[in-house]
Amino acid sequence: MAGASMIAHIPYFDTPHWVAIAMTPLVPVLLWWVLKSKEGDLWKDRVAYILAGLLFLHEIAYRIFHYSTCETMTEFLHHSLPINICPLALFCSMIAICRRSQLAYEMAYFWGFAATLNSILTPDIKWAFPSFGFIGYFVSHCGAIWLVLYATLVLKMRPEWKSIWRAFKAFNVTLVILAVVNIALGGANYAFLLEAPEADTPFFFAPWPWYIPVLELISVGMFAVAYLPFHFMDRWKVKASAEETVG
């Protein structure tokens, strides 16, 4: 998330930042541990709806906070609408766990681990802890990972190899739409299509516009890496099944 007034970012990897990073896997793993003994899907669905609902309400509050920090409506429209890749991944994850939508899950999973995780590690905000700007940013971004891991660990959803290309095609369609939005708003920079973020991220090393095709290639590679746990898990299952059959 970048705004015209954000000319610097918070310190990276200090104590509050490390706590936020640690919370990213901790919350869904804790929920999985609590729910793994529950029979049936009733409690799993209830928690899914509650978690998605709370994060949706939080996103509204976070956008209201953004509006309160903007000097003009134009500034808000240019920089603070929830249409960057990270909030879109959050919304996809909400749909995934509430509707069990496979496409929404795939988009949330791959976009989350390629874009949102990077935003958690290299946050592009100026509001230090314990401000609501800091807390809101990390709840919003960590929330996307919480939901997609909840869908994976608790709801047993998972991607396939072809999911990489579905998520990549959806990613590019979204970029085209956001490019049109940027032009229509006359100065917006959603998805960082017109200017690199202030964050010290290693992925924007090329100058504009060359970092866009570079990010396209990097995103495919990161999608493939994100799928590897499932690839190795499938191979292990096949090997274990074969050994059991022989035995």
Output the CA angle 184-83-112, nearest 5 degrees. Answer: 145
Give how many domains the chain has, as a whole number: 1
Whether residue 140 lies inside any domain: the answer is yes
| Residue-range definition of the domain harbouring residue 238 | 15-246
**Residues 6 or more apart whose Cβ sits within 8 Å of residue 82:** 59, 63, 88, 90, 91
Whether residue 8 lies inside any domain: the answer is no
pLDDT of residue 16: 96
Whether residue 6 lies inside any domain: the answer is no
Whether residue 231 lies inside any domain: the answer is yes
**Residues 6 or more apart whose Cβ sits within 8 Å of residue 172:** 216
Whether residue 7 lies inside any domain: the answer is no
Whether residue 222 lies inside any domain: the answer is yes
Whether residue 178 lies inside any domain: the answer is yes
Task: Specify the pTM.
Answer: 0.91
CB-count exposure of residue 58 (10 Å: 0-12, 13-18, 19+): middle
Taking only the tens of pLDDT, the chain with its 247 residues reads 333 334 468 999 999 999 999 999 999 999 999 998 887 889 999 999 999 999 999 999 999 999 999 999 999 999 999 999 999 999 999 999 999 999 999 999 999 999 999 999 999 899 999 999 999 999 999 999 999 999 999 999 999 999 999 999 999 999 999 999 999 999 899 999 999 887 788 888 888 899 999 999 999 999 999 999 999 999 998 888 777 777 6
Whether residue 177 lies inside any domain: the answer is yes
